[in-house]
Structures are given as C-alpha cells and as structure tokens.
C-alpha cells in the first residue's frame, strides 16, 4: 500500500477494547499533560498492538507533535537523550522512564546529507506529521496510534485489518524497507513467532532477496535483537527460519547452525516461557555447544586445558564481533567446559572443585537441556544432580582418594569456589 493511496481509519472509543485502566498511570499523566498543553499525544507502537491483542505491553511509548525542547519545558522530570536521535525521557521514581518521541518522517532523497554515513541518523530525525510517523515504522501492526484526546485508535496503514488477519506486513515495499534497515528482516520473523502471526509472502521473498544485507547491520543491534529472541522464548523457531532462509550465516558472522543447536535453543525457549531467566553467557554457550562438543572428543585423553582452548577458539570470534564483555565471554566458556565435564561423566580429576564451582549449576542446567536433545545423556544428568546435592559423597564405584578425605576449612572452600573449573 502506498502512502498516497491509503486512507486513515479512526476507530472511536466504543468500537475497540482498549481502556485507560490498562494503560500505565504515569504514561497517562504524560499523555494528558501534553494534551492539556495543546499538543497531539498518542500512545504509539508496540503498546497499542499489544493492548488490542489483549496482551500486557512491555512498555508504553508516547508520540507527540511537540518538539523535544517543548517536551522538556513541559516536564520537570524530563531529560533529552541521544546526540542525534533526540528523544525525551521522563523519569518517574527511581527506575521508571517514559519515552516521548516527536513524530518523524522520511526525508526525501534530495534532503539527504552528502555523506552516506550520515543518512541513517539524518533519516531518523526529520520531524513530520503523525501520518508520516506511521509510515516510517516497520510493520502495519506496529504503526497504530491511540489518541488520548478522544480515546480513538488511528490507523494510517491498514494495521487493524492485519491484526485481525494475524499477519505481519511491511509498510511499503519490503525490498526498499529491508535495504534501508536490514534488521527489519529479523524483526519480521521475531514478531511472527512472538505473536503467532503469519508472514506476508512478500516478506519471505524480500528476505530471500536481501538476506546478505543483515551482515551490514550494526553488530550491537543484532546482539540486542538476538537477546530479544531469547527473552521472548522464540530464539529456536526464529533461528531455524533464518537458517532455512539462508540468513543465519549472514546474521551471526558465519555461524552455520545445526538442527541439534536449534533444538537445544528451542528447549531454552521453553524454559524461558516457564519463567526461567536467560543470561547472555548461557545464550552464547547454547549457540556454540554443538560445535564445541564436536571439537572435544569425550575420551580420557582430552585434557581440560584443551577443552578450554577449544571453547575459546569457538566463542572468541563471536564475542569480538559483538563486543561482548570479558565477564560474559568467560562465563560462556566456563559453561561450555562445564558441559564437557558433565558429558564425560564422573570420576575425573578436579571433580570436587568442579562440583563447588558457582557456575556448575548453570552448566548442569544447560547440559540437562542438551540431554533432552541427546537422550542418551539423560543418566549422566541424574548422576550429576545427585552429586551436586551431596558434593562430599564419593563418586559411585570409585575409591576415595586420600586427598578427598582431608577436612575442608570453610574459607578455603569458598576461595576455591571462585576459581575456574
């Protein structure tokens, strides 16, 4: 649908289900204050979509025709952020922020700065009408507005119909919009999986045509979107689809992915949906566990230092590419090596210290999920779970070694616990 052809649809209050009771109190205060000062004030983006779907929005974003400077004048608790992409953040209490963005539009070709590196930021910062603002958004279902002036829903892009039909559709031509910002390809897959919507066929053919471009997106954005996939419990299906569409190696710097890795990630998704927390080190270790295990044969001859070395070799390129902090990289590596120890079985050197290591429960958690994919490992999980519960017990069938009989001093065991596996 082109911007010229489409008409605006306005759903009055009595024709939709969104009630002010569902909207966060402080966001309502912001909307009302803008409105009382003669500004347009809309709830925008994901929150309107989620409310219409009967879901709890993650956050409530506000759109307005007031400039950032004007917003700042209206709110004492407001500060402007972003050097180039100016947004107003209004602070409530210690930890709560409400984001207020001035409506923006796509600049025309001849308005663009000469330096192509400047385009992305420039494109995001030209103020426009609410209609312009709807059209610069990614998908029709993400471009609906809730107007505080009369509690109506404003739809410039056909988003209400797509919500009813449960379909993700790009606003405008997917080829153009994916070229403009390749991360939209990944977001399309993410929303389809999260909301259980289908993808407009043009999205699939668009990804087919533009998939390589995902490699040109800023690594920090990809890193964030990948963690979003994990947090929403859709990393498995989305990465599987990326793989099927041939986008996965472009997305994760050469990462091939395997059925088993993706099956493991889907297990993690299930755990997240059941309320499990997801840490980035865990997410990275899961991505690379299959590769790592392939490179470390589970024989007596494989020494732990060798496993450490392999783990580093495998995750360092990923961590460098995505500028992942040393601490996270270290934990990811420890989780991989922990899984190696767990897969190898009990009775090896250093077992006692391993059982006391603070990361071992997490390694075992990852290994437990891995054993759901590789069911032959299930008995190991059971054994190790018991060993962790009673770390002082000698391994089954093994003779206690004299060293193990030494009484432990509490402070000594604590400092040992902090050492690597």
Q: Which two tokens stand for residue 151?
A: 């509690």
User: Tell me, what DSSP letter sits at residue 214?
Assistant: G
Least Å distance between CB 123 and Mg ion?
Answer: 20
Chain positions 251 to 270 lying near ligand ATP, rule: CB under 6 A, are none
- Residue 174 binding target from ligand ATP, Mg ion, none, CB below 5 to 8 Å by type: none
Residue in 50, 65, 138, 200 annotated catalytic = 138
Tokens 């307005």 map to which residue? 64
Least Å distance between CB 67 and ligand ATP?
Answer: 19
**Residue number with the shortest CB distance to ligand ATP?**
46
**Residue number with the shortest CB distance to Mg ion?**
46
- What are φ and ψ of residue 62, in 5° steps? -115, 140
Least Å distance between CB 126 and ligand ATP?
Answer: 14
Quick check: 265 and 286 in contact, CB under 8 A?
Answer: yes
Stretch that binds ligand ATP, among 87-95, 178-186, 283-291, 382-390 (CB under 6 A): 178-186
Interface residue with ligand ATP among 45, 68, 233, 236 (CB under 6 A) is 45
Chain positions 81 to 140 lying near ligand ATP, rule: CB under 6 A, are 137-138
- Alpha carbons 53 and 104: distance in angstroms, whole number: 26
Least Å distance between CB 23 and ligand ATP?
Answer: 14
* Residue 241, number of CB atoms within 10 A of its CB: 22
Task: Judge whether 61 counts as a catalytic residue.
Answer: yes
Task: Judge whether 132 counts as a catalytic residue.
Answer: no
Per-residue binding letters, 53-72, with ligand ATP (x by CB under 6 A): -----x--------------
Rg for the chain (alpha carbons), in Å? 26
Question: What's the half-sphere exposure (Cβ side, CA atoms, 13 Å) at 287?
Answer: 30
- Alpha carbons 25 and 359: distance in angstroms, whole number: 40
Cβ proximity to ligand ATP, 181 vs 372, nearer residue: 181
Chain positions 39 to 98 lying near Mg ion, rule: CB under 5 A, are 46
Stretch that binds ligand ATP, among 23-31, 181-189, 254-262, 404-412 (CB under 6 A): 181-189
User: Tell me, what DSSP letter sits at residue 170?
Assistant: B
Nearest to 140 by CA among 233, 203, 193: 203
- Residue 335 binding target from Mg ion, ligand ATP, none, CB below 5 to 8 Å by type: none
Cβ proximity to Mg ion, 47 vs 331, nearer residue: 47
Interface residue with ligand ATP among 27, 102, 142, 261 (CB under 6 A) is 142
Per-residue binding letters, 331-370, with ligand ATP (x by CB under 6 A): ----------------------------------------
Q: What angle do CA 227, 201, 225 make, to 5 degrees?
A: 10
Cβ proximity to Mg ion, 46 vs 257, nearer residue: 46
Cβ proximity to ligand ATP, 62 vs 315, nearer residue: 62
- Alpha carbons 361 and 124: distance in angstroms, whole number: 45
Least Å distance between CB 47 and ligand ATP?
Answer: 7
Beta bridge partners of 199: 168
Cβ proximity to Mg ion, 89 vs 404, nearer residue: 89
Handedness of CA 252, 140, 20, 36 (dihedral sign): positive
- Alpha carbons 172 and 48: distance in angstroms, whole number: 20
* Residue 324, number of CB atoms within 10 A of its CB: 19
Least Å distance between CB 98 and ligand ATP?
Answer: 13
- Residue 138 binding target from ligand ATP, Mg ion, none, CB below 5 to 8 Å by type: ligand ATP
Cβ proximity to ligand ATP, 46 vs 257, nearer residue: 46
- Alpha carbons 377 and 296: distance in angstroms, whole number: 16
Helices (H), 235-303: 235-244, 248-251, 259-273, 280-295
Q: Which two tokens stand for residue 214?
A: 């995902």
Task: Judge whether 138 counts as a catalytic residue.
Answer: yes
DSSP H or E run through 315 = helix 304-321
Quick check: 353 and 419 in contact, CB under 8 A?
Answer: yes
Site size for ligand ATP (CB under 6 A) = 10
Beta strands 61-64 and 78-81 are unpaired
Cβ proximity to Mg ion, 46 vs 237, nearer residue: 46
Question: Which of the residues are catalytic?
Answer: 59, 61, 138
Binding site for Mg ion (CB under 5 A): 46
Binding site for ligand ATP (CB under 6 A): 45-46, 58, 137-138, 142-143, 181, 183-184
């Amino acid at each position: 649908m082109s911007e010229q052809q489409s008409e605006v649809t306005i759903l009055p209050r009595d024709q939709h289900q969104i009630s002010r009771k569902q909207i966060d109190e402080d966001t309502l205060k912001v909307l009302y204050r803008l409105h009382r000062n003669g500004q347009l004030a809309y709830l925008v983006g994901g929150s309107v979509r989620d409310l219409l779907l009967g879901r709890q929005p993650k956050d409530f974003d506000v759109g307005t025709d007031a400039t950032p400077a004007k917003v700042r004048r209206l709110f004492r608790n407001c500060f402007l952020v972003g050097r180039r992409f100016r947004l107003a953040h209004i602070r409530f209490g210690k930890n709560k922020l409400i984001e207020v963005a001035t409506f923006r539009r796509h600049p025309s070709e001849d308005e663009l700065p000469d330096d192509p590196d400047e385009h992305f930021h420039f494109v995001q910062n030209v103020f426009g009408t609410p209609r312009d603002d709807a059209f610069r958004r990614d998908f029709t279902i993400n471009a609906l507005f809730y107007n505080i002036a009369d509690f109506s829903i404003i739809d410039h892009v056909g988003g209400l119909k797509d919500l009813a039909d449960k379909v993700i559709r790009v606003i405008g031509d997917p080829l153009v919009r994916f070229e403009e910002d390749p991360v939209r390809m990944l977001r399309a897959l993410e929303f389809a999986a999260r909301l259980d919507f289908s993808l407009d066929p043009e999205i699939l053919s668009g990804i087919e045509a533009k998939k390589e471009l995902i490699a040109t997106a800023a690594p920090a954005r990809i890193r964030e979107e990948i963690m979003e996939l994990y947090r929403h419990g859709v990393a498995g299906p989305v990465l599987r689809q990326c793989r099927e569409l041939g986008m996965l190696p472009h997305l994760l710097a050469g990462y091939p992915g395997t059925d088993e890795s993706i099956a493991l990630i889907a297990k993690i998704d299930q755990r997240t949906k059941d309320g499990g927390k997801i840490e980035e080190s865990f997410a990275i270790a899961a991505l690379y566990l299959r590769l790592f295990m392939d490179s470390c044969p589970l024989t007596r001859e494989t020494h732990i230092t060798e496993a450490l070395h392999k783990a580093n070799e495998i995750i360092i390129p990923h961590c460098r590419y995505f500028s992942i902090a040393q601490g996270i990289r270290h934990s990811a590596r420890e989780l991989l090596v922990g899984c190696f120890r767990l897969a190898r079985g009990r009775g090896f050197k250093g077992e006692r210290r391993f059982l006391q290591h603070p990361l071992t429960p997490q390694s075992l958690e990852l290994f437990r999920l891995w054993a759901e994919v590789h069911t032959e490992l299930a008995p190991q999980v059971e054994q190790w779970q018991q060993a962790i519960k009673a770390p002082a017990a000698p391994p089954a069938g093994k003779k206690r070694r004299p060293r193990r009989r030494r009484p432990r001093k509490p402070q000594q065991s604590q400092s040992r616990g902090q050492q690597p596996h």
